[in-house]
Homo-oligomer: A and B are copies of this chain.
């Protein structure tokens, strides 16, 4: 009987209802981050330094234009001096690399990002383009050097990729401590899954990475105290897979047909929200979860880069 009661108490709430998750709002959290950054930028003005960001675009993809527009808007709100340079889709790789190197050398640029994907009629080696950005200005955190530092635990000496760093910020909002927890990451992409593993690991979680070759994803998910999903598959994670009370962070952005919506489609995550909401302790919505955090973390990295420059200037001044 005692065993039965224990079972009930672990899977149900008072009154026999299943638990209902607390929603972790990326909209609210990213607003708090932007407000904090605005104060930090204001403080830097006393030192005559305004953080600056250069967004380099190749071509004119409509989705890229939208993303860049939201970055420019956030930068303006925080007080970052942001410039958007658009090269035509006829540009050669050499011209792109020269533009990057010129921005690397420009001391007035603190953060430099290349909007991906590159939209060009010419061949572009994306790895080469990404790695030509100086690691000291790579506020997207995508260069090999920054990835290497993160993956080996040197977190304070690199730029953390924006989406996983935003996920960490959302996890912090829950008050659930990461150290010692079992975390599961679904996906191993360069911008979400792989760096997410590193961040959780070096915040001392025991981390399992799942991917397309994983045999029993539901079983792995069922062991997660903290679950981060960046799989790119609409609603693949079902509520009944989840450990009761876990933290669910959904990085998915998928468009599914929905006749009731204008445009005939709606956006869903990689997690089946309605069922997961009944079982998780905390969950991010889609949209309004991880998405806005990515842009906020880009702003944070840009401010951090300017602060590092300022700290180096101060150190150089002291040693004169």
Among B148, B179, B182, B208, the residue within 8 A (CB) of A145 is B148
**Could you say which of A1-9, A92-100, A149-157, A245-253 contacts chain B?**
A149-157
The segment from A166-174, A212-220, A258-266 found at the interface with B is A212-220
Which of A14-22, A199-207, A236-244 lies on the face that meets chain B?
A199-207
Q: Judging by beta carbons under 8 Å apart, are A143 and B151 in contact?
A: no
Contacts of A201 in B (CB 8 A): 188, 209, 211
CB distance from A307 to the nearest CB of B (A): 21
Residues of B within 8 A of A208 (CB): 206-208
Which residues of B lie under 8 Å from residue A119 when comparing CB positions? Answer: none
Contact among B152, B179, B180, B211 for A206, CB-based, below 8 A: B211
Partner of A147, one of B151, B182, B211, B215: B151
Report if A146 contacts B (CB, 8 A): yes
Chain copies in the assembled complex: 2
**Cα–Cα distance between A151 and B143 once the two chains are bound (Å):** 12
Known: A204-B211, A206-B220, A214-B206. A143 touches B153 (CB 8 A): no
Least CB distance from A184 to B in Å reads 9
> Which of these, B127, B150, B206, B210, contacts A154 with CB under 8 Å?
B127
CA distance A35 to B205 in the complex (A): 42
- Tell me if A194 and B127 are in contact (CB < 8 A): no
Contacts of A150 in B (CB 8 A): 151
Q: How many chain-A residues does the 8 Å CB contact rule pick out?
A: 33
Select from chain B the residue with minimum beta-carbon distance to A203.
B213
- A118-130 to B contact mask, C-beta < 8 Å, 1/0: 0000000001000
A198 located at the interface, meaning its Cβ lies under 8 Å from any Cβ of chain B in the complex: yes
A213 partner, pick from B147, B180, B209, beta carbons under 8 A? B180
List chain B residues, Cβ under 8 A from A215.
Answer: 180, 182, 206
In angstroms, how far is the closest chain B Cβ from the Cβ of A201?
A: 6
Does A144 reach chain B (CB closer than 8 Å)?
Answer: yes
A190 interface residue (CB < 8 Å to B): yes
Set B151, B206, B210, B220: member contacting A151, Cβ < 8 A: B151
A228 to chain B, nearest CB (A): 15
- A residues bordering B, Cβ < 8 Å? 127, 143-154, 179-180, 182, 188, 190, 194, 198, 201, 204-211, 213-215, 220
List 7 A-B pairs, minimum CB-CB distance, nearest first.
Answer: A148-B148, A144-B148, A151-B151, A147-B148, A204-B213, A208-B208, A206-B214
